[in-house]
Chain A
Amino acid sequence: MRYGRNGYLVGWGHKKGPGVKKGKKLSTRVDLTPMVDLGFLLITFFIFTTTMSEPTAMRLFLPKDTEKPEDQNKVKASGALSIMLGKDNQIFYYAGELLPDGSNFKSATFKEIRQVIIDKKKTTNPEDFVVVIKPGPESTYKNTVDMLDEMAINEVKRYALVDIFDQELALMAASQK
């Protein structure tokens, strides 16, 4: 080991000739482009793998099944709005009682049903107003939740999830494509 002319350690057996170039003074600027690339790559990774919004919960209260029909809440037929959920996101509804010829049995989409609920709510005595939701066997869970959500959106205080009647099923099948 020996020391070079400038007093620095030069290592084992390295000859230091007279014509050794001095290191060029490099600029202190560093190209940060790869660093930026890396940064954004990580950002996208974190955006995709992490969760921001916590899931929320929607409450549902089930009524107790009562054996005797007289124990059940009496619904004034005139204030009721029955909404049936069919397949492929179709909705059928009728206000009040279903007429024997099925003339008040109408169809709607999820967009239109809000207006129907609002109109019915406006024209009915709040004491009598009740929405009866009848999901059909072909309807999805999403349809049901959307409908319950619609109750929350329109502040319908009284609503019920009821089994669909055969007569309604038949009418639905007839009007479905």
Chain B
Amino acid sequence: MPKVKVPRKSTSVDMTAMCDVAFLLLSFFILTTKFKPTEALAVTTPKSVSTKPVDSKNMVIITMDKEGKAYLSIGDENTEQKDAILDLVSQWKSLNLTDVEKKSFRAAGAYIGVPFSQLKSFLQLTPDQLKNFKADGIPVTDTANNEMEVWMRAVNSAFQGEKMNLFVKGDNDAKYPSFKGIMTALKKNEIFKFSMITDPQGVPEGTDLWKTQQRTGGRSTDNE
């Protein structure tokens, strides 16, 4: 029997198609996503089935970190309100804040996370120093001295006549009493409506909400 010659094939594979796919995916990801904003405060938000996207206009965010410390930040474009808030607080608590100190709060991504007694020195920190600074947070759990209440009063008057979007962005591990302290501060200022920032999550099958969504074709889950 004659030997069947098996042609020896080259082991190199044509990578052109693979390359095409890779760059197609790459361009897709570049175009559809946007960079994660650098966050000064690392917080892992809980998941919920809410589908309402966060409205970034006139934003006031109270952040609550792992240890339950509260921080206050105002939307980056609301510089006027930021000034007004600091002016009021400076006046009420007679802190004599200078323009330079006020300016540091005007910067993008600035937040306040210290009791009034440390506020002046906190605002003097340079961005580099701020990175390593261990802030104490705005006191909220102490019912007699809930400083968030004063801040919210200032926020309220700064945003007078404008619709303010108030968010609470809490960490999974934050203990409930801090959250309660924040709620108390809001209640005292007659703010009864706020939103909590959460990560979207699917609705479990078979539940009432799931059934409603099936009926309505998966519209908003907000119960107004």
Chain A interface (Cβ < 8 Å from any Cβ of B)? 31-33, 35-36, 39-40, 42-43, 46-47, 49-65, 85, 114, 118, 121, 135-146, 148-149, 152-155, 157, 161, 163
Contact = CB atoms under 8 A, between A and B. Distances in A.
B54 to A, nearest CB: 5
Contacts of B222: 59
Given A56-B51, A64-B187, 4 more contacts: A51-B33, A57-B54, A59-B52, A118-B207
23 contacts: A39-B19, A43-B25, A43-B29, A51-B35, A54-B53, A55-B197, A56-B50, A56-B53, A58-B52, A59-B52, A59-B193, A61-B193, A62-B192, A64-B190, A114-B207, A135-B180, A137-B175, A139-B175, A141-B172, A141-B179, A149-B47, A152-B48, A154-B207
Interface range, B side = 35 or more
B29 A62 contact: no
Contacts of B212: 155
A47 B26 CA distance: 9
Contacts of B52: 56-59
A43 B48 contact: no
B77 interface: no
Given A56-B48, A59-B195, A64-B187, A49 B36 contact: yes
Contacts, number: 186
A148 B50 CA distance: 10
A32 B16 contact: yes
B23 A39 contact: yes
B15 A57 contact: no
Contacts of A139: 175-176
A121 B224 CA distance: 20
B196 A145 contact: yes
Contact of A143 (B45, B176, B199): B176
B123 to A, nearest CB: 28
Contacts of A32: 14-16, 18-19
A155 B208 contact: yes
Given A137-B175, A141-B64, A153-B49, A52 B16 contact: no
Nearest to B203: A153
Contact of A40 (B14, B22, B171, B208): B22
Contacts of B196: 57-60, 145, 148
A64 B188 CA distance: 9
Contacts of B177: 137
A155 B209 contact: yes
Interface in B174-224: 174-180, 183, 186-187, 190-200, 203-204, 207-210, 212, 221-224
B25 A57 contact: no
Contact of B54 (A40, A47, A54): A54
B172 A140 contact: yes
B122 interface: no
Contacts of B30: 46
B192 A43 contact: no
Which of B46, B64, B193, B223 lies at the interface centre, i.e. has the most chain A CB atoms within 10 A of its CB? B46
Contacts of A47: 29
A156 B163 CA distance: 28
